[in-house]
Amino acid sequence: MKTCQLCGKAIEFGSRAKKYCSEECRKRVKYEKDRAWCKANPEKVTAYARKWYADNRELMQRQGRDIYRQKVMAKNKEEK
Ligand SMILES: [Zn+2]
């Protein structure tokens, strides 16, 4: 019988899962790993975020405008 490496719950026989019992446990492990990595490499995280923002500046600005427009439209709807 396989058991979840995170919570220790038994994994159903025949389940395709190998290490973790559920999607939540898998996500949890990934999240913890990512967080540990970010903590260990803060300068890489900052550099990555900065690069991503530089690459996507236009997208972010456009998105910001769209969100603003949606907000205005939603407000107009409410008032009508
Ligand atoms: Zn589990």
What pLDDT was estimated at residue 12?
81
Q: What's the first-to-final CA gap in the chain, in angstroms? A: 62
What is the Å distance from ligand 1's center to 4 Cα? Answer: 5
> pLDDT tens for residues 35-71?
999 999 999 999 999 999 999 999 988 888 899 999 9
Q: Is residue 65 within 8 Å of residue 56, measured between CB atoms?
A: no
Q: Calculate how far, in angstroms, residue 21's C-alpha sits from the geometric centre of ligand 1.
A: 4
> Is residue 80's pLDDT more than 70?
no
Whether pLDDT at 4 is above 90: yes
Q: Inform me whether the pLDDT recorded for 29 exceeds 90.
A: yes
**Could you tell me the two tokens for 14?**
């025949």
Which runs of E-coded beta strand occur in 1-80?
none
Q: What is the mean pLDDT of residues 21-48?
A: 95
pLDDT of 63 reads 87
Rounded to the nearest angstrom, the distance between the alpha carbon of 40 and the centre of ligand 1 is: 26
